[in-house]
Structures are given as C-alpha cells and as structure tokens.
C-alpha cells in the first residue's frame, strides 16, 4: 500500500526552525514540504487547499507571543490541530575561513537578534540587519561569499548552506524554546487531545475578563496561556487567545463552554489537540 504524501507549508527556507519543527512533528510520515516567504502566505495556502497543514511559530519562551500569527489564524479562520516545541540554539554563522574579528555585518530575523542581546552588547562592531528569516539570512550569507558578513541562525542552517559556526549558543537564555502550532482548515479531534485553544471577545464592561476567567476556575480547569490582541476597526477593544487543558468531551470543559457566552461577544474553539509533552519541552 502506497503511503500518503502530506503537503505541509512553513515560513522560511530549508534549515529554518519552522522547517525543523515540521520535520520533528511529522517524523515517520511522507511529507511534501513547501516553503513560503511570510506567515500570512502559509495560512492562506492552508485555507485555499494548496497544503493540508501549516507550521507556524506562536510563542517563544524568551520573547513571548508572536502576535502576527495570532492575528492571521483568527482572521482566516484556521484551526489548530497540533503543536511542537523546539529548543532554539542560535549560532553565529559565517563563511568557512572567516574569523570572529572579520564580522562587521550580521543578518537575522528581529526575534533572533532580540534573543541574543547580551552577545551583541559584547561585540559592538557587529552591526545588525533585520532579515526575513534566520535560515534565509544564512542562505544569503552563503550566496554573497563575503567574509565580513554573518547570520544568526541554527546549526541546521549551517549544515544546509555550508557555513561555519563561529560561535555556538549565543542566545541569552539557554533554556530558549519556540512553540509551533500546526494549522488546518478543518478541525481534527484526537482521543488523546489534552489542550484546547479558544478565542473570546469581551463585552466592554467592568470585570468582564474576570468573569470569563472565573468560569475556568469554577470548574477547576487549568489555563496555560492568555494573549490579548486588538480587534481591527474597534479601538480599545480586544480579543483574547486562551489555552486551557482538557478534552472537549470532559464534563467540566463542557460546562465552562456553556457558561462563557454569558460574558463574551464572541467565543470560538480553534482546536483541541495533544500538547507537546516531549523531552524538548522539559529539558
């Protein structure tokens, strides 16, 4: 029997952390990976059927939520069907033969730079230039073949583009992880799902957020994350992206979801999926 080929999209180029998350999440399956330039292109490709799944970074343990991704998932109406946590170890990558003292220009995604602030404080001669993606920056450095140029990216990007690792583990926080979500245009519900993501918009009234959160507390449901995002076209009004533990068939979860509309103007379940409990999340 021929194994099914699963089309999956990600942002960046081969060697990017998103590509690594894709490989780890779909390990053992036959995948046709398709890369896109920006996050929105990944979401659009999922929703128009170009790919079945998309892999997107949603949160970093050092720099917090990636707000652009929250907004695209909500606006396009995508569903979350899984997650993968990847340990991030940034490296300074240069051409083979380059030395640290040669480097005057460094390219990377702004998130990459923000996670390596202490390193660059110690090397003020290295000017930082924002680029689309960490691995894309590595690809550019390899193509330019100029000894004074370097990139901040993962070791996998060095291998992908034939670069040398001039400094390893330059991120300030050595326990640096990025959580990736797997999105689809259709909701999926696995028997072992133990995490629920939902979005709620609140009534513009005193105590509305407190009342919403009280529903989870009342039924002893653990909330693992909450992010607020402005509602386009409605100044000073916000929607909240909330992660809780549980399965949609659990009685406490069902009771809380029945009560939520009392204090919300919008309540949508984005997904119920298995949280990543792998060794990368704990180490």
> Which residues are the active-site residues?
178, 180
Give all strands of the β-sheet with 149-153 in edge-to-edge order.
127-130, 105-108, 149-153, 91-94, 164-168
Contact 157, 15 (CB under 8 A): yes
**Residue 223, strand partner residues:** 244
- Tokens 């402005």 sit on residue: 230
| CA–CA distance, 105 with 66 (Å, rounded to integer) | 26
**Residue 35, strand partner residues:** 10
- Listed in sequence order, the residues at least 6 apart from 90 whose beta carbon sits closer than 8 Å to its beta carbon are 108, 112, 115, 116, 134, 152, 153, 154, 169, 170, 171, 176
Q: What tokens were used for 23?
A: 């490989």
Residue (of 197, 195, 223, 198) closest to 210 by Cα position: 223
């Amino acid at each position: 029997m021929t194994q099914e080929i699963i089309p999956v999209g990600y942002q960046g180029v081969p060697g990017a952390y998103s590509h690594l998350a894709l490989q780890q999440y779909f390990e053992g399956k036959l995948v046709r990976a398709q890369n896109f330039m920006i996050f929105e292109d990944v979401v659009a490709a999922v929703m128009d059927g170009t790919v079945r799944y998309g892999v997107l970074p949603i949160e970093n343990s050092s720099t917090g939520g990636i707000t652009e991704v929250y907004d695209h998932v909500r606006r396009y109406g995508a569903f979350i069907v899984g997650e993968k946590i990847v340990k991030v170890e940034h490296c300074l990558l240069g051409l083979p033969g380059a030395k640290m003292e040669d480097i005057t220009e460094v390219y990377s995604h702004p998130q990459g730079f923000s996670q390596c602030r202490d390193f660059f404080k110690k090397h003020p001669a290295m000017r930082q230039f924002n680029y689309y993606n960490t691995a894309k920056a590595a690809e550019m450095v390899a193509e330019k073949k100029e000894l004074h140029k370097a990139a901040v990216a993962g070791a996998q990007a060095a291998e992908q583009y034939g670069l040398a690792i001039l400094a390893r583990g330059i991120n300030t926080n050595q326990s640096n992880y990025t959580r990736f979500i797997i999105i689809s245009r259709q909701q999926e519900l696995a028997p072992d799902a133990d995490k629920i993501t939902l979005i709620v918009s609140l009534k513009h009234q005193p105590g509305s957020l407190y009342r919403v959160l009280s529903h989870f507390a009342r039924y002893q449901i653990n909330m693992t994350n909450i992010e607020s995002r402005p509602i386009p076209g409605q100044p000073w009004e916000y929607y909240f992206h909330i992660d809780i533990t549980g399965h949609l068939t659990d009685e406490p979860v069902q009771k809380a979801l029945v009560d939520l509309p009392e204090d919300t103007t919008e309540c949508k379940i984005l997904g119920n999926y298995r949280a990543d409990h792998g060794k990368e999340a704990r180490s």
